[in-house]
Amino acid sequence: MGTGTPLGRVRGLGSAKEGTHHWWRHRVTAGSNLFLMLWLMVSILSRGSFDYASLRLWMQSAWVAVPMALLVISVFTHFRLGLQVVIEDYQHNETRVVFLILLNFFTVGLGATALFAIAKIAFGAK
């Protein structure tokens, strides 16, 4: 709850200016992760072979490339939020800031690589 102006109280964002946004997004992505990871595990179980050609053919399908991209976005958002909480619990002073910035670089860098790889396979030559 805001403690200053009446408008601040209505918005209920407090001094962090964020309110429950972080907490709520963590829960929403937990829900989407549940479905997307179950899809991935069932997909792995229903695959006959894991050789290069058959996996490429499999991931060229829109029915695989799209959920795989959604999985990366959902999972990466979720772990970005989760690791932030872990860092904030155990790191203090300047190291906290450094770790939080490194976390952003790690998440965005790795996530972009994953999405590019999925797109390259999906849009690549048959």
Minimum distance, C-beta of residue 7 to another protein, in the bound complex (Å): 29
Under the binding rule (CB under 8 A), the answer on residue 35 touching another protein is: no
Minimum distance, C-beta of residue 83 to another protein, in the bound complex (Å): 5
Q: Which residues contact 87 (CB under 8 A, 6 or more apart)?
A: 96, 99, 100, 103
Per-residue CA distances from 106 to 26, 110, 126 (Å): 18, 6, 32
Under the binding rule (CB under 8 A), the answer on residue 86 touching another protein is: yes
Under the binding rule (CB under 8 A), the answer on residue 97 touching another protein is: no
Spatial contact of 84 and 100, defined as CB atoms under 8 Å apart: yes
Under the binding rule (CB under 8 A), the answer on residue 17 touching another protein is: no
Count of residues in contact with another protein, rule CB under 8 A: 36
Q: How far apart are CA 13 and CA 78, in angstroms?
A: 21
Token pair for 99 = 């770790």
Q: Which one of 1-9, 10-18, 42-50 is the stretch in contact with another protein (CB under 8 A)?
A: 42-50
Under the binding rule (CB under 8 A), the answer on residue 20 touching another protein is: no
Of all helices (H) and strands (E), which one includes residue 96?
Answer: helix 93-123
Token pair for 125 = 């030559």
Give the residues lining the site for another protein (CB under 8 A): 27, 30-31, 33-34, 37, 41, 44-45, 48, 50-53, 55-56, 59, 68, 72, 75-76, 79, 82-83, 86, 92-93, 110, 113-114, 116-118, 120-121, 124
